[in-house]
Amino acid sequence: MKNKNLLIYLIVLLVLSFSIFIIKYINDTKNQYKVISENILFQQSSTLFNNIVTMRKWSSDHGAVYVKAHEGIEPNPYLENNHTYTKDSELLIKINPAWMTRQLSEMSNRTENYYFKITSLDPVNPVNAPDDFEKKALDDLAKNKDKTFYTSMEKDKYNLLGSLKIEPSCLECHVHQNYKVGEVRGGLRVSVPLDSYTQNIEILESKTNFLFTITILTSLVFIIIIVFTINSIYSREINITKLNKTLEKKVRIRTKELIDANKKLIEISTKDYLTNIPNRRHFFEIGTKSLHIAKRENNQLSVICIDIDFFKKINDTYGHNVGDEVLKLITKNMNKYIRKSDVLARIGGEEFAILLNNTNEENAFLLAEKIRIAIENLNYINNNKEIKTTISLGISQLTQEDYDLDSIIIRADKALYEAKNTGRNKSVIY
């Protein structure tokens, strides 16, 4: 459950982060578009400003321009020698840079809705007195000498005010103000309408808000789908886990039953049912492996073959039940004398064999004698009658010529027959 909640948290965090990135990208794009649009307004306004300044300079360089008097144009009342006459007595009105700027501004306002105005903090013409924007702009430019333009965005127009330097023609009107050529004493204002800009920004805001909404809704849908999917997967996993646990439990039980059955089968196939020691088959399997190991590592290995003396007589006299008890008793006592690394097996009715690892025939003989003596001194009481028994033993050890276990056992059997043929109850080395 903790892993599920952590996974949901991480995925939701990832989706939200991606959504925030998209929203930020959209918002940055919108702001960049606004900046570009404002730069376009600035370029447009500054271009108009430079055009007017260029015309003013041209007019100033040529000592102003004279035009024929006609309706709608009047001499500049603040300009001395503001008119002249031709030789034909035609009235020519002098248009200096300031008067030209005013004429252009009035014409532009009538046709293009662009606005131009010369202004100064100390104007000769009261009409050129600054409004709030112009005063703020002139104060800013006066404080920042290296600055050329001051801009402001109003509701319906973009305002730009650029500084103007005193030209020689300016001194005709400002002769009493001690202006010097090259000084900055005023500015030229250019106002550009914002109809297209405002319309574009409104469209941009609308599309941006739409994209914001789509992004947020998409993120929520993704989160819902992902959370639902993860919960479904985990629910399915829980059910599968429960089924697996049930199945695993059944498998464990069945496996244990199979293991127990295999153990029983192994015991049945490898142990003698009466004496509970390895049978002939198991003895030969272990003996063959031990022989190969001894040959490879050049170790010693010996085999003792054992036969109970006159065992048939015990069966005939006391019955097979008593014979079985005698076999168990002899087996139990022989087991006391062998090591864990040795193997005692019943290979026939009353025949036994012992496999001795890392043992030569002399040491095997010593063990054989211990076992023989122990069995000779063993008493079995049946119906108040004491049953005495002895064993005969034949011993053989591994030689360089031996390549299977049979060859060693054959020699041990021959030694065993010699022991039986020479009086029984003895140990003989081949």
Q: What is the C-alpha to C-alpha distance for residues 51 and 360, in angstroms, rounded to an integer?
A: 124
Candidate list 134, 167, 172, 350, residue with the active-site label: 350
Question: Is 71 an annotated catalytic residue?
Answer: no
Q: What span, in angstroms and rounded, lies between the C-alpha atoms of 82 and 95? A: 8
Instruction: List residues bridging with 83 in a β-sheet.
Output: 93
Helical H segments across 125-169, by residue range:
132-143
Q: Are 294 and 301 in contact (CB under 8 A)?
A: yes
Specify burial of residue 388 (Cβ count, 10 A radius: 0-12, 13-18, 19+).
exposed
Question: Would you say 130 and 160 are in contact if contact means Cβ atoms under 8 Å apart?
Answer: no
Spatial CA neighbour of 395 closest among 356, 338, 351: 356
Sheet holding 149-153, edge to edge: 115-120, 184-193, 157-165, 149-153
HSE-CB for 262 with a 13 A CA cutoff: 6
Burial string for 197-208 (b: 16+ CB within 10 Å, else e) reads beeebeebeeeb
Please give the Cα distance from 168 to 63 (Å, whole number): 9
Distances (CA, A) of 410 to 102, 201, 215, 285, 427: 140, 112, 93, 17, 16
Q: What are phi and psi of 427, to 5 degrees?
A: -115, 135
Query: Is the torsion defined by CA of 84, 86, 87, 90 positive or negative?
Result: negative
Specify whether the backbone of 159 is left (phi greater than 0), alpha (psi in -120 to 50) or beta.
beta
Contacts of 198 (CB under 8 A, 6+ apart): 156
Q: Which amino acid, one-letter code, is at 190?
A: V
For residue 12, CA distances in Å to 6, 8, 212, 222 come to: 10, 6, 18, 9
| Catalytic residue numbers, as ranges | 350
